[in-house]
Amino acid sequence: MRELVGLSFFSSYSFKQWRVICKPYGHWKQGQATWEDYRDAVCHHREKICAAKARLEFKLASTVKDNIKGFLKYVNSKGRIRNNIGPLLDEGHRKAETFNAFFTSVFNTDDGPWDPRSPVLEDGDRGDDKLPAHPELV
């Protein structure tokens, strides 16, 4: 319920109606209601939430010229959620190269004698075939 409090479409969808979903869940968990009752309540209210979101988006789209601030606020709130993945794409190249070298050394397909060490993984100081462990990567 906390996730829905900040959403702008939730203002049209009252908290009393949201509680209608929570009651069948509690009854179902306590064994006082069937799974079908809970599922029907959730499906019914999921449709209401989707309709409320669609109404809000239609209202924003139809009044873009008059209410540009509300439209931009809604669009920017959507973009903020999807920005959480950025650092993984930028900083993971070294990790990916290390794991790729490790897996190619393990899963080699040549028919010759098996050499478990990869030249990329060999460290001049150690000389063994262990993965290099950097404290900042671990």
| Model confidence pLDDT, tens digit, residues 63-100 | 888 888 888 888 877 765 555 555 555 566 777 788 77
Q: Is 96 within a domain?
A: no
Cβ contact 95:66 at 8 Å: no
Domain extent at residue 66: 2-84
> What is the sign, positive or negative, of the torsion defined by CA atoms of 89, 92, 94, 96?
negative
Residue with tokens 């009393």: 16
Q: Is 72 within a domain?
A: yes
Q: Is 126 within a domain?
A: no
Q: Is 57 within a domain?
A: yes
Q: 118 or 49: whose pLDDT is higher?
A: 49
Q: Which helix (H) or strand (E) holds 53?
A: helix 35-62
Say how far apart CA 38 and CA 134 lie, in whole Å. Answer: 50
**How large a percentage of the chain has pLDDT more than 70?**
50
Is residue 129 predicted with pLDDT exceeding 60? no
Q: Is 64 within a domain?
A: yes
Instruction: Please provide the DSSP assignment of 75-130 as one string.
Output: HHHHHHHGGGGHHHHHH-HHHHHHHHHHHHHHS---SS------TTT--TTT-S-S
Q: Is 26 within a domain?
A: yes
Q: Which pLDDT belongs to residue 50?
A: 86
The pTM of this model reads: 0.42
Q: Which pLDDT belongs to residue 48?
A: 83
